[in-house]
Amino acid sequence: MSNREVVVLSVGGVRFVTRASTLQRFPESRLARMLSDDDQEFKLVNGEFFVDRDGTLFSYIMDFLRTLQVSLPTDFSDYRRLQREAEFYGLYPLADLLSQEHLLKPRLEILEVRFSLQEMQAFFRIFGSCSTTVETLAEQITVFTGQQSGQSWNSPFPSQKPLIPLPLERPSHHDMVFQCGTDYSAGDQFVARYVSIKPDNRKLINGTNVLGLLLDTLLKDGFRLISTRTVSSAEKVECYSFERRRRPAGLTVTVSQTPGSSGAAQAKRSLVQKGK
């Protein structure tokens, strides 16, 4: 039986097909010994191993055996039950990780957009609890400046002169500041600032349009608008607050066994950076 390449398991009525080598990833686990030992918990019925355990949770066990990573849904909450299943199968490195829920639970990320409209100019300040998200958003936003003659900020036509990209102001790693619209310069000249937000290629000068595109970009990126409020009615400063739950960096297990070791395989945890 230990030489079979493909193994079929029926766990709580849910059928799994895998390689024998996958089940043998942790040689001292019950799943590895199942292929050669006579374990009463694993009944061989019509060529399939029947296990009277939770089939849904076993899918996470199989994913761990195949990837050596713990990947759980954002709304997952059965850490204790999955830890108990890992202990039942003798997968103690996995059980050890699951005992530290704070490493695996999704974290709440907050983003705040402040918007101020003053005559022909609009001012934006974005603050985020995650500096990586703010950095990524800053890479999507470009402000272009140029001079116009006799055009207001509501004009849909960009300046005929080449527009010059400007770096965003970054007071800290957690926030950024930029503005758009027009301001008077010498004589009849206007200094115009356009904003472009990737992947949209338009260059917008109207502050309300920029705000709409920015909010739409955040919603598409998984944020949820949780509140809007007026910070300063005198200065017409509006504040939009967003949140999203993000899974922290994935955890992997590196297995190293020493001669004569007993019980669980010695395991080391390491972080794998994912997403933004």
**What domains are there in the chain, each with its CATH number?**
6-104 (3.30.710.10), 108-151+159-246 (3.30.1410.10)
Q: Give the model's pLDDT for residue 51.
A: 92
Give me the phi and psi of 138, to 5 degrees please: -65, -30
Residue 121 pLDDT exceeds 50: yes
The answer to whether the CB of 126 falls within 8 A of the CB of 176 is: yes
The model's pLDDT over 170-181, given as tens digits with 9 standing for 90+, comes to 999 999 999 999
pTM score:
0.60
Q: Is 240 helix (H, G, I), strand (E, B) or coil?
A: strand
Res. 92: pLDDT tops 90: yes
For residue 233, name the pLDDT band (cuts at 50, 70, 90).
Answer: low
Identity of residue 76: F
Q: What is the mean pLDDT of the chain?
A: 83
Confidence band of 10 (pLDDT split at 50, 70, 90): very high
**Spatial contact of 130 and 248, defined as CB atoms under 8 Å apart:** no
Q: pLDDT tens across 23-47, in order?
A: 999 999 999 999 887 777 888 888 8
- DSSP summary character for residue 136: H
Cα separation, 206 vs 194, whole angstroms: 8
